[in-house]
Every structure is written in C-alpha cells, then in structure tokens.
A = this chain, B = another copy of it.
C-alpha cells in the first residue's frame, strides 16, 4: 500500500517522495511538543500517526499537547490517554477514558469556544503548533491539502505549524474534493469583514494552501471514520421536536418568520438530531443549515426536499447513513460546503445570518441559565463545543433536554445550575418533552414562572415552585435561597436522588 499510492491523490511529484510509514512520520513529534491534528466530531481525524505515537510511548517518554478541531473517532483519545501521551488537550473531547483522566486531574483539558482556538493560536496566546497532522483526500499540484470529512481547525494548524504530516486516506472518497471552502481571516489590525453573507457563500479555496516544503511527511491510510452513535428518536425526543415545531409555526403566524425560517444550527447528539428529523413532519420548506456538524438528519432533510443547502465543518453519520451517503456524495455536493470551524462558528457570521440555534443542555435552572458540560458542577462531560458561539449570537437560541435523567432520579430543571455555560442572556427558548418556555423579553421572576409551568416534570414541579416562592420572599431580581440553591445536587451525591 505504501508503495502504491494513487497518483491522483498526490499530484505534486516531489511530495510523493516524502511518503513514509506512520511510525517514521511520528518521529517528527517529540516529547513536549504541541501537535495540531485534524478531526471534528469523529470525522476526518488523522488515524495512523496518533496510533504510532501511542505505540512509541510504551518505550520512551512522550507527552504532548494535543489540539484538534473537536472530538476524535477510532478511539484515538482513548488510546492516547491510556498510553499517557496527553499532557494537555484542547479544545473539545467526548471520550470516556479521556474524560476520566481529565476529571482525575491527570490531563489538563482546556475547554474552549470552538471558534476561538485558532484565533488564540494566531495571536500566539496559546503555545505554537510544532507539528500538524492532517487527514486529506489529496494533495494538489501546488501542495494544497484537500481535507476529508471535516475541516475543523486543520487549515490554521497546517498554516501555522512548523511542519506538516499529511495522512492521505485512500478510503475517503475522492468526491470530497471541491466540497471545502478554506477561508482564513486576515491578521489584525487590518482584518476585513468575513465575506460569508449566506450559507451558500463560497469565499475561499477548495484546499489548505501550504508551501510544499512544509509537508515533511506523507502517510497513506485506509481506515474509515467511526460512525456516530445516534439513538433512534423516542417519544420524549419526538415531543421535544413537536413543541419546537409548533412554536416555530406560531412565529410564522405572528409574521416574525416565514416558512423557510432562518438558517438552522443544531448541536451534535441524539436530541438535536431528533429535533431536526422532526422538521420532516412540518410545513417548513426551502430550509438552510449553517451549522458545525452535519448529521444523518441533514441528509434525510435533503432527501425529503425540505432542505436546500447545508454548510458545516464536518459530516458525521451513523454506520448505515455513512454507507449510503458517502458513495453518493457527488449528488449532494452542489448543496454542501465544509468550512473551518472558525468560520462555521464565527460570531460575526452567526449574528449576520441570524441563525435558529438548537443545542442540548445537561441541566438548566428556573431562571434559564444552562449547564452544558459539568455533571454535579465538577465533572466534565465533553466540553462547551460550539454551543456558546451559536447561542450568544443566534436569532433564536434554543436549548433542549429531557425533563428528567437517570430514570427519574434527576430533574434536569434545578433551582440553580451547578455550573454555568450559557447565562440567561443567551437563552431564548427552553424545551423539554413536557413543553416549551418562551423567555424572550421576560424578567427573571417571569422566566421562572414560565419555566416551572412549561418545562418541569410534574414530579419535581411542587418542589421547584416551593423553592421559587421562598426565594421571592427573600427578595431580589433573581431570587435565590443561597444555602439551598445547590442542595438538590448535594442530595443527589449523598443519596443518589435529587429529592
């Protein structure tokens, strides 16, 4: 395989001489380095070099700072964690083994808004990237790197790194070429507006421009992306989708939206995916997406004719969908763009386009503050991801969750969230299977009434109502009984149930 790369895949003849094994390429990465790898929501990650690093760490000291786009597939974060390669990890992860190491304080995890990592790298406010490792479908004649199923932070990693390792993945379809739109904001203080004015705007190059001499090694691979584990919609997620659909229809009726709505963003995961699926059963049409991850639902909406365009930073599909869509990618290509996550999530563009943003909450409180990341205020789940980039600048910021977790031991609505990722200012609409709370233009005491009435599971409603009333008796704009505010979480820790 290493001796027979497809000539179409490496079109710069000089670069073909730099093909090496993964082990050889990995030698460019030394103990203490900062490494920027491709990969966003389990799509398009470098697959061979990180495995070689993990193997090497068995025989020599090797600790690195690993930056990626977002989460990695193929158990890479697990393997790297178990090999003790990770000293620092930036800006997102979703792996149970890595999560455990983070929560034990063994790996320093820097959880960032996904649009911000490369901005901080560019201004040298994060350690410089020594080596970038980027999965590609091809390298152009001029040395341009054509990413695979995600762009993530790959472009800036490659441009800013000292050296670049390219993993040419022969099993990523060649049809991916032409899908990407690589635009990098100009340096401040002379930065110009980002020219994206619709989800369809193409403003950059179809490859990552890198001087060929910076490409220090090329590794040829064949491993596929991991598939997403998306659960089927259940009656709760269907109810959430229905509440949101009804609300949006009401907005159309009020003349605030038309049937093509505003461009949609939806976070990764089962609930957001189910909500998007819910659009199949609505009268909305000519929809567009401007999101970070394009999931199964994106393609189902294309196939139904509801969706006319989708822009994202990655394509992450379930096993079945992956087999179905990837070979037919050329059909979808005119309606798809993959962008750097800095652009897919950029506050400037999100605000300009006026997105309807649907993200998942771990818990929210009676005033509408949202915890997206920390179990019991202390333990990291995955990271804030793009939820802050989108929620802050949305036309309509929607958070969804089931009203209870762990079979009823936990209420997802609490007196005070144990960790705040999104403040009440950035949360317009909350939806659980119980109902929807429209918080726009409401003061905190009004928000509490609406949330308790509409989103809370009946089991927990009296206790929350009681807390709220006793808090109001004490007074305040956002009334709390401080010594009780986190008692639901403390009780859960002690007794295994919130109340």
Q: Which residues of A contact B (CB under 8 A)?
A: 88, 90, 102-105, 108-113, 116, 119-120, 123-127, 188-195, 197-198, 254-256, 262-263, 346-348, 351-354, 369, 374, 376-380, 384, 388, 392-393, 395-396, 416, 418-421, 423, 425, 428, 440-443, 445-446, 471-472, 474-480, 482-483, 485-487, 489-490, 493
Chain B residues near A127: list those with CB within 8 A: 441
Would B191 and A376 count as touching, CB distance under 8 A?
Answer: no
Would B198 and A377 count as touching, CB distance under 8 A?
Answer: no
A271 CB to nearest B CB, Å: 22
Which one of A116, A120, A125 has the greatest number of beta carbons of chain B within 10 Å? A125
A88 to B442, CA, bound (A): 9
Q: Determine how many copies of this chain the complex contains.
A: 2
Q: From known contacts A105-B445, A188-B354, A478-B419, infer whether A120 and B440 are also in contact, taking CB-CB under 8 Å.
A: yes
Interface residues of A, dominant DSSP? loop
Would A379 and B475 count as touching, CB distance under 8 A?
Answer: yes
Would B443 and A88 count as touching, CB distance under 8 A?
Answer: yes
Q: From known contacts A88-B443, A188-B262, infer whether A480 and B378 are also in contact, taking CB-CB under 8 Å.
A: yes
Would A378 and B476 count as touching, CB distance under 8 A?
Answer: yes
Would A478 and B193 count as touching, CB distance under 8 A?
Answer: no
A125 CB to nearest B CB, Å: 5
Chain B residues near A262: list those with CB within 8 A: 188-189
Would B420 and A369 count as touching, CB distance under 8 A?
Answer: yes
Chain B residue nearest to A443 in the complex (CB): B108
A214 CB to nearest B CB, Å: 22
Chain B residue nearest to A355 in the complex (CB): B188
Chain B residue nearest to A348 in the complex (CB): B348
Q: From known contacts A347-B347, A378-B477, A483-B486, infer whether A395 and B194 are also in contact, taking CB-CB under 8 Å.
A: no
Would B443 and A378 count as touching, CB distance under 8 A?
Answer: no
Chain B residue nearest to A486 in the complex (CB): B482
Would B109 and A476 count as touching, CB distance under 8 A?
Answer: no
A382 CB to nearest B CB, Å: 11
A190 to B352, CA, bound (A): 9
A322 CB to nearest B CB, Å: 31
Would B441 and A377 count as touching, CB distance under 8 A?
Answer: no
Chain B residue nearest to A263 in the complex (CB): B189
Which residue from B256, B425, B443 sits with its C-beta under 8 Å from A113? B425
For this complex, 7 residue pairs linking A to B, each with C-beta atoms less than 8 Å apart, are A88-B443, A105-B445, A193-B194, A347-B392, A378-B474, A378-B480, A380-B478
Which residue from B103, B378, B420 sits with its C-beta under 8 Å from A420? B420
Chain B residues near A374: list those with CB within 8 A: 476-478
Chain B residues near A482: list those with CB within 8 A: 376-378, 418, 486, 489-490, 493
Chain B residue nearest to A199 in the complex (CB): B189
Chain B residue nearest to A377 in the complex (CB): B480
Chain B residues near A471: list those with CB within 8 A: 378
Chain B residues near A485: list those with CB within 8 A: 377, 486
- For the complex of A and B, 10 pairs with smallest distance between CB atoms: A378-B476, A193-B193, A380-B477, A420-B420, A108-B443, A188-B354, A348-B348, A483-B490, A347-B347, A379-B476
A280 CB to nearest B CB, Å: 23
Starting from the known contacts A110-B442, A189-B262, A346-B351, 14 additional A-B residue pairs (CB-CB under 8 Å) come to: A108-B442, A111-B477, A113-B425, A119-B351, A120-B441, A123-B395, A347-B347, A347-B351, A369-B420, A379-B477, A388-B392, A423-B423, A482-B486, A483-B490
